[in-house]
Structures are given as C-alpha cells and as structure tokens.
Amino acid sequence: MNSTLEQRAINTIRFLSADAVQKANSGHPGLPMGTASIAYVLWARHMRYDPQDPAWPNRDRFVLSAGHGSMLLYSMLHLSGYALPLEELKRFRQWGSKTPGHPEYGETPGVETTTGPLGQGFATGVGMAMAAAHLAGVYNRADLPLVDHWIYGIVSDGDLMEGVASEAASLAGHLRLGRLIYFYDDNRISIDGSTDRSFSEDRAARFAAYNWQVLHVADGNDLAALDQAVAAAKADPRPALIVCRTHIGFGLPTKQDTADAHGSPPGVEELAGAKEKLGWPTEPAFFIPEDVKEHFLAAGKAGQAAHAAWKELLHRYQQKEPALAAQFERVLAGELPAEMDASLPVFPPDAKGMATRQSSGKVINALAPVFPEFIGGSADLTGSNKTDFAGMVAFTPETPQGRYVYYGVREHAMGAAMNGMALYGGVIPYGGTFLVFFDYVKPAVRLAALMSQRVIYVFTHDSIGLGEDGPTHQPIEHLAALRAIPNVTVIRPADANETAYAWKAALENKTGPTALALTRQALPTLDRSAYAPAEESLKGAYVLKDYGGEPQVILMASGSEVPIIMDAAEQLAGEGIAARVVSFPSWELFEKQPQAYRESVFPASIRARVAVEAAATFGWHRWIGSDGAVIGLDHFGASAPFEILYREFGITAERVVEAAKHSLG
C-alpha cells in the first residue's frame, strides 16, 4: 500500500473486478486486470461525465466492446459515483442485479450500450460518433458547441477479428470520425490460446489503411504514454486506434498472459497471490482505500461542473437560437414532430398501383422535410430501396449536417451503426437493403431489440417477387426469422396506404426496432371506399372485406399476397362460399390488440382458414389452427420473371380456392 495514489486506484479497479468474478464464481477477470490503467486514465483524466445524470447529452461516451470484461465497467461506474452501490458489484451475474454478465443497456446507469457479441460495440461506437458529428453539424453555432465530446472505447483481439468491426472501421475512416478514440487491448491472447494461432495480420497497418490514426503504447500500464496517446488522438482529425500492449490477468502469478485468465474465476489462491504480488491486502475483498474513493469521486465531481457549464451554454443557445434549441430538446427527448400525421401521404386508388418500396419512398419524401431527426441510408442499394429523398445532402466529413449515409456494401455495420445512432439520441435512423440481406444485419437487429431501440429497417425485394436475381436474392425464411426475435415489429404492407401507416407505426414504436418488408413489384392501391380503411392496418390484422355474407372461411395474407386472396375470395363467392379476407401486415401489432378485437378478426368458430405468404410457412400454423392450410414456399426460389415464379410455385388464387374448400372439408 505504499505505492502512489494512482497505482492504488488502478489496483482497486483490478481487485474490485477480480473479487466480484471470484465471488460470482463466474466471469472474466483477465480484461479488467489487464486494462485497469487504461480505464483509470480515461475516467480520472479524460472523460467528462456526470454520475448524477448519466443521460447528459454532451457527456463523453464509453463503449466496452469486449463486453465480457463487464466488471471493469461496473468497477469504474461504482468508483466514479454512479448509482451502482458496492452491493451490486457483490451480486455480479446474479438474478435481478444491476451487474449482469455482459453490460446491458438499460440495466445499469452509465452503460451506454449492450456489448458481448464481439465486434458489435466497436461498430455501435462508430454509430455514436456519426450521430455526434451529425448533431454537431446541425446544431453547433459559433461559440455555442452544444455537441462537443468524445467517444472512447476498449476493443479486443476478438473485436478486431469480427467482420462487422472491419466494415465499421472502414466506414469510420471514410467518414473521418475524429471524435472516436479506441484503445486496442493488445494482450495477444484469445480463448484458444496465443493469438499467433489465428491472428497474425498487421493490425496497425490495417487500420492505417482504413484511414485511421494508429498510435502505440508499448506498456499498457504506462500512464504518461496513455495520456500522450489520448492527447495525440484528440489532435488528429481521423479516428484513432491506440494499440496498447497489455497483459491479460495482469498480476495473476501463474495465469497472467494465458488463456486461463480470460473467462474463469482466478481461484482463491491465485487471486491472493496476485494481491500479494501487487502489494494489495488480501483481505477484505472488495477493498477500496479511502483516498482512492475520494480520488474517483473528485473526477466525477469535475464532470458535474462541466455539465453545469454546459447547461449555461444551452441557456445561451436557447436565447440565441430558440427554434433550433426547441428542436434539439424535442429530438433528444425522442418526441415526434407534431406535423407527422398531417404529412403522411394518402394514395388515391389505382388498379395498377405501385411497389410498396415505391410508396415507402414517397412516404420518406413526405416525412423528411418535417423530420429533421430522420437520418437515412442504404447499404449501396439506394435506388432499389428508394431510401433517398428530394434535396437530401449526404453525410460526409464536409457536410456532417447531411442526412443520408452511403453505407457502402456494409449491411452489418449499417445495422450496428444505426444502433449507435439510436442510443445516442437526437436522430431516428433508417437504413435499407434487400430483405434477404437481413441475414447480414441480424446480430445488430437482435441488439436493437434487446436494447429497445427505435431503428427502422427498410427491407425491400421481400419475396420471389424480386424475380430474375434468383434464390440467393429471394428471401424465404426471413420473415419467420424476424418474427421470431423478441421485440422486433415486422410490417409487410399490402398497398401504398398500408405502407404509410407502416411508417407511422415504425416511427411511433419507441421501444424497439421495426422491419418494413416491401415489394419490388407493383401492387394495386386499394379503393378504400370498398374496403376497410388502411388505418386499420395499425392493428396488425384487420378484415379487409367479407365476401358474400357471414364468413365460412378466413383467408389471410400479408403484403403482395393480399391481392391473391382477394381474387380467391371473389372466385369463392362466385361458387357460393363466403370468405373473409384478412390483411395481416404485422403479427406483433396484432398480438398487442385486446383479445376481443383479435377474436373479432379470427373468430374461434371459423376453423376453416387459409394463410398465404410467398415465404416459408413456418409459424403460420399459429393462426390457422389444426384445420387450416398455409400456402407458402418451404424451399428456395428460382431465377425467372416473378409472374412465372408465382405460377410455378403455386402462389395463386386457384390454389387458395382449392385449399379453402379443402379446409372447409
């Protein structure tokens, strides 16, 4: 205990973390012990944060991309005065604690994003830096830098090996996101052993190739070198990767620098050995020297002062730019503009109609002027996804106020970056790709759902209706895969007006992502004087029309298959069979309706049912029960003009008629 205050502070981080892992008998001691000095330099010397108000908009962000090292973050949050009592650290990884195994957004004050699946935190931080650059571009005025802070992170070997981090790094370099400063925990160990086994690339050269500034800290415990690196990073307009040579499980007598230090409790003896080695009292566990406690709390207090100064700045801003200030507060609160409903286009009936991707494009164009927080983009399919809008400006280093992101062919980074933007706040991100490439985005979609973030996916070319590009581009299982994820709302509108309401539902869904599944091919715009109003689609499923009196059979479909069941219902009516046609754009919206409404659409007494979707039948049995039928595609598609595919694969009114009769017995 005769070391410096700084060293004691760093050892406090190490052993708070290791003690918690040991007590839980589960967790990852290696990273916190190896990177404690980095965390110290950040929290004590560089980061601006207000532990009393973790949501202060101009705070620095910290992303622990290597989320398995969660105890590092919990130690820092506790020490710097966040509402995370020591008791919670002692309940690490236990039911109901605020200290889950990986950092979970919303569970712990001060945790900026959920991390754990490697690479995601890296790419999410890129999104945060995009949002910060954008908001600074929109709102900052001379001498009034409302948005003026940094995004820090610790990233691991595993993060850098993941493709999503590569995509995001390339994008960040391209966009010159200079506010991004990542420490690379270069400990040369992964779970399978030495990184020599699988990871021999020149990481520094790779990041330089991405247009990053690459800095080196030869000893990850060298505080002066870490300090200097941060200063150099701040002085450079590029994103920075600070390559820090660290030692996993630093201090552990036999496990340091081995994979054994990564993901298991060190063991009582090994932990005691580490404490002895680093001059730390072996007892009590969770020991925090009084001066260390004060030291960290002082850092938090400095942040509070910075926050107070920022509030004054905001006040001056409000005086000078009242309209912008009001907008800033509205968008940060996540409130929608009052003009939204009035701006939604109403599409006139049209037998020829248009593709729902096209009506979606018209909705985007209508909303963009009244939605300054709308920030769109596409993974290099702008013209196909119809995600662009009139008069838009690209988001570039020169035009950070721009609201359109050319993500390149980087679906996964797009998804993760949108998470970062949504978490950051002040923007509502939407991004486009083909529905089949949801596969590439999936890990990020899951995190959006888990973190309850308002992210909107514009998934076009949503079936075999895409035609000639063939099976690699035709989604089959994707609607099922999306619907199976908790807290994802999937909407597949059947015409232009349902598409407008799909957008409304997506924008109003503040607690989770929404996936819009949109056609490539044209669909008729229904004449709503003859059918139920399109607004009913907000309920997820609704009776479009009962054909020929008291219904005997229910036909249900989503999107492009609704016209097919309408045709079938006509044919059935001609044969004296009364069919109900249900447009079913969203299972999730429907499930939220009261039981009485659901029963009114699908009365239990009508057991003859046919569901139609040009996709896997998987999951539809829930709606058709034991006696119904599903018409879909439980095989891959093919390359041909789409009308031929519908016919050859039997997604036809004739087959629906047949199935309806069969279901009626």
Q: Which is nearer to its own copies, 209 or 326 (CB)?
A: 209
Site for its own copies in 472-511 (CB under 8 A): 472-473, 476-477, 480-481, 483-487
Q: Which of 20, 71, 126, 171 binds its own copies (CB under 8 A)?
A: 171
Q: Which is nearer to its own copies, 160 or 223 (CB)?
A: 160
For residue 164, state whether it binds its own copies (rule: CB under 8 A).
yes
Q: Which of 409, 599, 600, 654 binds its own copies (CB under 8 A)?
A: 409
Yes or no: say if 553 and 590 are a contact pair by the CB < 8 Å rule. Answer: no
Binding residues for its own copies, rule CB under 8 A, total: 111
Q: Which of 167, 495, 536, 561 binds its own copies (CB under 8 A)?
A: 167
Q: Which of 223, 306, 366, 381 binds its own copies (CB under 8 A)?
A: 381
Site for its own copies in 70-89 (CB under 8 A): none
Query: Which residue matches tokens 């409302």?
Result: 146
Q: Which of 95, 342, 530, 550 binds its own copies (CB under 8 A)?
A: 95
**What does the alpha-carbon distance between residue 450 and residue 486 come to, in Å, rounded to a whole number?**
8
Among 259, 286, 300, residue whose Cα is nearest residue 34: 259
Single-letter residue type at 255: K
Q: Is 180 helix (H, G, I), strand (E, B) or coil?
A: strand
Min dist. Cβ of residue 437 to its own copies (A):
7
Among 536, 620, 543, 585, residue whose Cα is nearest residue 360: 585
The region of 235-243, 340-348, 378-386, 552-560 touching its own copies under the rule CB under 8 A is 378-386
For residue 592, state whether it binds its own copies (rule: CB under 8 A).
no
Q: Which of 34, 51, 67, 585 binds its own copies (CB under 8 A)?
A: 67
Buried b (16+ CB within 10 A) or exposed e, 338-368: eebeebbeebebeeebbbbbbbbbbbbbbbb
Min dist. Cβ of residue 389 to its own copies (A):
15
Which residues contact residue 401 at a Cβ distance below 8 angstroms, ignoring those fewer than 6 apart?
A: 134, 137, 138, 393
Min dist. Cβ of residue 268 to its own copies (A):
19
Q: What is the dihedral of CA 584, 590, 594, 595, to 10 degrees?
A: 70
Token pair recorded at residue 456: 């909107």
Burial class (CB in 10 A: 0-12, 13-18, 19+), 301: middle
Min dist. Cβ of residue 354 to its own copies (A):
19
Q: Which is nearer to its own copies, 466 or 565 (CB)?
A: 466
The region of 36-44, 155-163, 362-370, 528-536 touching its own copies under the rule CB under 8 A is 155-163
Q: Which is nearer to its own copies, 382 or 571 (CB)?
A: 382
Min dist. Cβ of residue 77 to its own copies (A):
16
**What does the alpha-carbon distance between residue 570 and residue 554 come to, in Å, rounded to a whole number?**
13
Q: Which is nearer to its own copies, 58 or 113 (CB)?
A: 113
Yes or no: say if 379 and 164 are a contact pair by the CB < 8 Å rule. Answer: no
Within 10 angstroms of residue 100's Cβ, the number of other Cβ atoms is: 20
Q: Which of 356, 360, 378, 499 binds its own copies (CB under 8 A)?
A: 378
Q: Which is nearer to its own copies, 98 or 454 (CB)?
A: 98
Min dist. Cβ of residue 524 to its own copies (A):
23
Q: Which of 52, 53, 94, 524 binds its own copies (CB under 8 A)?
A: 94
Q: How far is CA 232 from the centre of its chain?
A: 31
Q: Which is nearer to its own copies, 35 or 195 (CB)?
A: 195
Min dist. Cβ of residue 583 to its own copies (A):
21
For residue 255, state whether it binds its own copies (rule: CB under 8 A).
no
For residue 26, state whether it binds its own copies (rule: CB under 8 A).
yes
Within 10 angstroms of residue 443's Cβ, the number of other Cβ atoms is: 17
Min dist. Cβ of residue 460 to its own copies (A):
13
The region of 279-287, 329-337, 531-539, 619-627 touching its own copies under the rule CB under 8 A is 619-627
**What does the alpha-carbon distance between residue 151 and residue 164 come to, in Å, rounded to a whole number?**
18
Q: Which of 201, 339, 508, 599 binds its own copies (CB under 8 A)?
A: 201
Site for its own copies in 112-131 (CB under 8 A): 114-119
Site string for its own copies, 419-458 (x = CB under 8 A): -----------------xx-xx-xx--xx-xx--------
Yes or no: say if 50 and 83 are a contact pair by the CB < 8 Å rule. Answer: no
Yes or no: say if 72 and 17 are a contact pair by the CB < 8 Å rule. Answer: yes
Site for its own copies in 625-644 (CB under 8 A): 625-627, 634-636, 638-641, 644
For residue 109, state whether it binds its own copies (rule: CB under 8 A).
no
Alpha-carbon distances, residue 218 vs 225, 511, 567, 627, 664 (angstroms)? 8, 44, 71, 69, 76
**What does the alpha-carbon distance between residue 415 and residue 404 come to, in Å, rounded to a whole number?**
15
For residue 192, state whether it binds its own copies (rule: CB under 8 A).
yes
Q: Is 107 a catalytic residue?
A: no
Within 10 angstroms of residue 26's Cβ, the number of other Cβ atoms is: 15
Q: Which is nearer to its own copies, 298 or 484 (CB)?
A: 484
Which residues contact residue 198 at a Cβ distance below 8 angstroms, ignoring those fewer than 6 apart?
A: 161, 190, 192
Among 164, 169, 124, residue whose Cα is nearest residue 441: 164
Site string for its own copies, 322-361 (x = CB under 8 A): ----------------------------------------
Q: Which is nearer to its own copies, 75 or 221 (CB)?
A: 75
The region of 24-32, 312-320, 322-330, 529-537 touching its own copies under the rule CB under 8 A is 24-32
Query: Which residue matches tokens 């590439």?
Result: 440
Q: Which is nearer to its own copies, 12 or 463 (CB)?
A: 463
Q: Are strands 193-194 and 189-190 parallel, antiparallel or unpaired?
A: antiparallel
The region of 11-19, 53-61, 280-288, 464-472 touching its own copies under the rule CB under 8 A is 464-472
Within 10 angstroms of residue 332's Cβ, the number of other Cβ atoms is: 16
Q: Which is nearer to its own copies, 149 or 410 (CB)?
A: 410
The DSSP secondary structure of 406-425, one letter per residue, reads E--S-HHHHHHHHHHHHHH-
For residue 161, state whether it binds its own copies (rule: CB under 8 A).
yes
Q: Which is nearer to its own copies, 165 or 367 (CB)?
A: 165
What is the separation, in whole angstroms, between the first and last Cα of the chain? 84
**What does the alpha-carbon distance between residue 570 and residue 56 come to, in Å, rounded to a whole number?**
59
For residue 153, state whether it binds its own copies (rule: CB under 8 A).
no
The region of 41-49, 231-239, 471-479, 528-536 touching its own copies under the rule CB under 8 A is 471-479
Element (H, E) at 214: strand 213-217
Handedness of CA 93, 99, 103, 107 (dihedral sign): positive
Per annotation, catalytic residue among 104, 167, 373, 411: 411
**What does the alpha-carbon distance between residue 256 and residue 248 come to, in Å, rounded to a whole number?**
6
**Could you give the residue numbers annotated as active site?**
411
